Chain A
Amino acid sequence: KAGVTQTPRYLIKTRGQQVTLSCSPISGHRSVSWYQQTPGQGLQFLFEYFSETQRNKGNFPGRFSGRQFSNSRSEMNVSTLELGDSALYLCASSDGQGLGGYTFGSGTRLTVV
């Protein structure tokens, strides 16, 4: 079966702009989680969506937001980009029940200049 698809793979944006990243989970999975990976902070949880509702949220400013559609695809949006937002953004797909493990996509590499 198809894996987790993240688009685009690479993105370059200017400070102050906004960006939208997309994640299509494994078919049948209803949970999508987003993580930010940076050399300084490592892997940090952003938020999780389950059945179109944000179920959990990490400790990130309100500039980071997301949503999930009825087909379980999720988007993540970052507004007013800062240089520190440069990172690899990973999404993880799961059944949402917590016992099936998490399957990650290849990530979107965002560079803010």
Chain B
Amino acid sequence: AQSVTQPDIHITVSEGASLELRCNYSYGATPYLFWYVQSPGQGLQLLLKYFSGDTLVQGIKGFEAEFKRSQSSFNLRKPSVHWSDAAEYFCAVQTGANNLFFGTGTRLTVIP
């Protein structure tokens, strides 16, 4: 069975600081991995996805993620956080049944 773990429930960073959000997955086959962001009361916006190939994936809004098979991780990074990045971030794995299995999310607070 699949699982996605986001160990950090809440992270606070200062504007301009770097950011890394952790995601660990468990899936029997080659995983298709996603990061989504959700602002309060809104839907989910796709930041980036990994299907195969280069393990460093570039996304929108200056985000990137690195797939590390040996560590079963897909951590999201941003070199310099902006106040508008404050939101909830979800890591997800696509199952063989063509649906997404989500982690519990990490809420990001940005201090001016």
Contacts and interface: CB of A to CB of B under 8 A. Distances in A.
Contacts, number: 58
Interface string B89-112: 010101001111111110000000
A90 B90 CA distance: 14
Contacts of A98: 32, 94, 98
**Chief secondary structure at chain A's binding surface:** strand
A33 interface: yes
Contact of B101 (A45, A92, A96): A45
Contact of B43 (A50, A56, A90, A99): A90
**Chief secondary structure at chain B's binding surface:** strand
Interface stretch (A11-19, A76-84, A103-111): A103-111
Contact of B102 (A4, A6, A42): A42
Interface residues of A, number: 27
Contacts of A92: 44, 100
A55 interface: yes
Contacts of A106: 42-43
A104 B44 contact: yes
Chain B interface category by residue count: 20 to 34
Interface string B2-46: 000000000000000000000000000000101010000111111
Interface of A: 4, 6, 31, 33, 35, 42-43, 45, 48, 50, 55-56, 58, 90, 92, 94, 96, 98-99, 101-107, 109
9 contacts: A31-B98, A42-B103, A45-B100, A45-B101, A96-B98, A101-B34, A101-B46, A102-B34, A102-B46
